[in-house]
Structure 1
Amino acid sequence: MTQRRSDHGYEEEDDRDFLEWEDHVMATVAGEVRRRRKELRWSAQDLADRCEEIGYPIPRNVIANMESGRRANLPLVEIMVLAKALHMSPISLIYPVGYVTKVRQLPYEEQQSAWATLQWFVGNAPEEGATSYMLNRFQAHDLELRSALAAAESEDYERWKVKTAANRIQREAAERDLARCVARAANAKRELRRLRDAIRADGGTPPDLPSLLDNVDPPDIDTTEEIDL
């Protein structure tokens, strides 16, 4: 098979020969770098200057050779720097969803949806039998952190409503709402604590907590003990 090159890499195929997977990945990244650079109306030198500002110079001729397909390799660190310089995420260079419809996930595999392959890459669609327990716990932690933070913010708001109630009826209604918010926040914090304990039990370090949730994981007590939420 042969794939025709565009600003978004190799996309269209015919049946004449086979494009190697490594070339396919590099061409997709190079095509997206070129597309985004043009979108920003930057020259290759503009992009090189921004890479140097980041602290990892990538010369103009290297960028030009990459975009034209004359370069033999593309290190991961350069993808990271190029993404930062272009105000993108690295994954968007590797799998530019919306601009490339299909990519080849691994050598000798048929092309599949760029979105589905991106989900596999970031761990949202793991391989059968995968044991990414820590990644799974961090993903669950992120969801519970958002839930606990929203509950804590609601609790603060309801406390403000109690303090500023104009009369007894409004204050009693606000107190009932506050009680519900306190219970919801306590449950969310307990679940967040459970996940943080599980991360530590597996030898990991949980992410930092925002100040609004600093009572979930106090530094001065054993984190396996129950706390008054």
Structure 2
Amino acid sequence: MEKVRLLVVDDDPPIADLVATVARYEGWDAVTANTGEDALRLAGEFHPDIVVLDLMLPGVDGFGVLDRLRRSGTMVPVVFLTARDGVADRVAGLTRGGDDYLVKPFAVEELMARLRTVLRRSAGPDYRRSVLRVGDLSMDEDTHEVRHGERTLTLTPTEYEVLRFLMRKSPAVMTKAQILDHVWEYGFGGRSNVVELVVSRLRRKLDDAGDTGAPLIRTVRGFGYVIRQAGESGT
């Protein structure tokens, strides 16, 4: 599937880099700009599918960037991300051709959710959702539906996050510590057995009853866990 191309425009480089990094982790292609002039140049070179745009930029401000994009005939979706929280600014951003408006401070998860919603709305029924696949296992990251062959699996939130992490990293081997850090995001006192318990539950749900073949989630002794389709090397 072709990657979503995201242009992030913010005069605060750490914020721009944070949004771009999270987008790349989601499988998108992301570039950043810190001025309005750079944003307009990159819009012509990179041809983004969607733009995150700050209002307070040196030189050409966010409204100016949007106006120039629209005058050039570019209808790329634009989501404003700004500290300006006045009603007049919100109305101006949306009436001048913006697609959404999010005020700082913000949660990056909410921003990504809004970007996906705007993409679906702007592209219509042909928008291709973010679907992870390993063999006959698929995970729709928008609907959270997980299918193994013809079966739809019911997973707890923790099981879902562990499986998503392994699928995103496939065919790399992930250690218990890496899984703990990513899924739980806080110290678990070295209790790596919690990972073993979740993986054990996932295996029971993933593998067909009576299946004598290799499990989808495999243990690599001395290292950790990996999810690979049949035929790939592993233990």
Question: Into which bin does the TM-score normalised by the smaller protein fall?
Answer: under 0.3
If the length of structure 2 is used for normalisation, what is the TM-score?
A: 0.27
Structure with greater strand percent? 2
Highest CA radius of gyration, 1 or 2? Answer: 1
